[in-house]
Amino acid sequence: MFSFRRPWHFGKQPNCVHSLASGRLAVSVPAAGRLKHLAARTALVLAPALLIGAAAGARAQDSSSRADSAAAAAGQSDSNQDQTGQAAQETPAQISVQERIRQRRAQRRATAIHDAYDHLFESYAGMGYLRFQPGASLQRTTFYGWNTGLTRYYSERFGVDIDARGYYGIAFTGVQQGVTNATDTRPKISEYNVLAGPTYRFYIQPKFSISGRVLGGFALGDFSGDTNGFGSTYFGIWPDATTYAAAGSLIGQVNISPELSLRLTGEDFLSGFGSTTQNSFGFTTGLAYRFGKQ
């Protein structure tokens, strides 16, 4: 006869659940139930360890991610440094706009200097002025004259100059005994010079240049031609003679074109009339023309 009485363990299930929840498993549970309760208890025991392992794994993964990020950042930094180093290496080879402009100006300047001063010859002609003492006891007189010359250049700076000039003036001798004609006391005198020497351009620019020059040669004095037969020494003027002459010059030139320039020369001029030395100061000025290519 069929009985509706439940097995005894069904009535004990709440206690078993309570015991399972409290971590204790009743020994009176059948084998299948005990396996279930053992699995549940094992899960409860292993859950903290699994949680700890998961947390450790997460931390390890986080540390690995951070290490990868740091490595990537380091790689990026090294790449940036490599690019910076490469840029630094390329910078000297790259010419800026200002540098190109400066180089073009320097090239134009060098070309202009070469065009102006790379000539084989330079000829010049003009006028001269000199303060000359015509006699030992006479006052200085003003000489006006002409000047011409030719310079042979062996480079843009160095050359050899041949210079010729003539000066003309009036010597004021004062009243002389036995001289009745007043014009005889102001005789006209003249001097002619031929000189040669080296010249050097020590400062050159496309538009102007400054040169130095040293000349030596001879001077021819005609001092008695206008004394009406009295002779130059009668009036205290140097006797007619041919003597030495020398000049130290400073030359400035302003270029009108590569071939043509304005020329101004200041001079200290020496001569040896009357067995003495006359130290005269003056200048010459005029035009210079360059021709021929070196």
Residue 273 CB neighbour total at 10 angstroms: 26
The Cα 244–Cα 193 span in angstroms is 9
Residue 3 CB neighbour total at 10 angstroms: 5
Residue 98: both structure tokens together: 């200002």
Question: What's this model's pTM, rounded to 2 decimal places?
Answer: 0.64
| Alpha-helical regions (H) of 3-30 | 8-11, 13-21
The Cα 257–Cα 259 span in angstroms is 5
The ranges assigned to domains in the chain are 10-74, 120-293
List the pLDDT tens digit at each of the 294 positions of the chain.
Answer: 444 444 444 444 444 444 444 444 444 445 555 656 666 666 655 556 556 655 556 565 665 666 555 555 555 555 555 555 554 554 555 668 888 888 888 888 899 899 999 999 999 999 999 999 999 989 999 999 999 999 999 999 999 999 999 999 999 887 555 555 555 678 899 999 999 999 999 999 999 999 999 999 999 999 998 888 878 888 889 999 999 999 999 999 999 999 999 999 999 999 999 999 999 999 999 999 999 987
Residue 113: both structure tokens together: 């200097």
What's the angle, vertex CA 285, arms to CA 279 and CA 288, rounded to 5?
130
Q: Tell me the fold of 120-293.
A: Porin (2.40.160)
Where does residue 163 fall: left (phi above 0), alpha (psi -120 to 50 degrees), or beta otherwise? Answer: beta
Amino acid at 40: A
Q: Nearest to residue 166, comparing CAs of 134, 202, 129, 135?
A: 129
